[in-house]
Amino acid sequence: MTKTAAGERKGLNWGHLIGTNVRSFQTVLILLGMIVVLSILSPYFLQVRNLLNVVRQISLIAIIGMGVTMCIITTGIDLSSSSVLALAGVVAASFGRGAHPLGLAILAGLLVGAVAGFINGAIAAYGEIPPFISTLGMLVGARGLALIYSDGKPITGLSPSFQLIGGGYVLGIPIPIYIMVVVGIISHILLKHTKFGKYVYAIGGNEQAAIVSGIDVKKYLVLVYTYAGTLAALSGVILASRLSAGQPTAGENYNLDAIASAVIGGTSLLGGIGTIPGTIIGALIIGVLNNGLVLLNVSPYLQMVLKGVIIVAAVLIDMRARRKH
């Protein structure tokens, strides 16, 4: 490689790095601004109980969003996470009753998600079908399987130990928040400090260049979608625990909120750019917005409109930033 080419590549990387940092800083400022405004408009917003409730509510979206972020970085998408969540939830709930070990219930749910994600990735990578289509098929199919498995009814009678996963507290903090933090740390390390993450960014930056450089693109795409499916299933297990039932209709809009969290947090729909902390901040923005509007008695229909506006604005900002760099 010539010095000129190396310099151009170095310059391009710096441009991406600066652009990503600027967008992350802007996202943090937006979140802080929302917190300040809502704390002024509502005396209940800054109460510890309310803040913990906000973070607990977005924990599931953030966990799903971490997997979705990796899919989007590779220029893909995962539309199936809400249905995978429901399917994993009813399967885990069926094992969470009676004398079954807690570990078996969790493992069963996670395995369902991993298999669903593997199928998504294999169809997209080896079937050469756009991820939008493969995951859309899973969105419909997994929801149908959830209804078949549960006979269209909630699976109840869960053991107290299973219910602790989503409904328990440690040191006054809901357990789902701890899970979100642990998953966030693991996902961040995977993306930023492992060969896996390096290849994920490489695939999203330029898939053909990644192939030429010797990266087994198909293999890593399958791994990305398997990981995303597993995280969706983990959220399904937590939600089933919190609801004290496996609901085959649970989490119908969670996939859209997860995608919104990633995009608002700076993940580019054009691929190659995205971070786990950014996605968590994006989920917090959605959670704070929803909570604040509820406290202010704003119509839930208007809440949907505002969320849509924010998503479109985030994409427009991203597109403009990509053109500059």
**Reported pTM:** 0.89
CATH code, domain with 226: 1.10.3470
Residues in CB range of 82: below 8 A, 6 or more apart: 139, 143, 232, 251, 252, 253, 254, 255, 256
34 in a structural domain: no
How far apart are alpha carbons 139 and 137 in whole angstroms?
5
Total structural domains within the chain: 1
160 in a structural domain: yes
30 in a structural domain: no
248 in a structural domain: yes
11 in a structural domain: no
157 in a structural domain: yes
How far apart are alpha carbons 253 and 174 in whole angstroms?
23
What are the pLDDT tens digits along the chain (325 aa)? 333 333 333 334 444 444 555 566 778 888 899 899 999 998 899 999 999 999 999 999 999 999 999 999 999 999 999 999 999 999 999 999 877 889 999 999 999 999 999 999 999 999 989 999 999 999 999 999 999 999 999 999 999 999 999 999 999 999 999 999 999 999 999 999 999 999 999 999 999 999 999 999 999 999 999 999 999 999 999 999 999 999 999 988 899 999 999 999 989 888 899 999 999 999 999 999 889 989 988 888 887 888 788 878 877 876 776 666 5
138 in a structural domain: yes
Q: Which two tokens stand for residue 189?
A: 């390390």
First to last CA, the chain: 22
Domain containing 67 equals 57-324
297 in a structural domain: yes
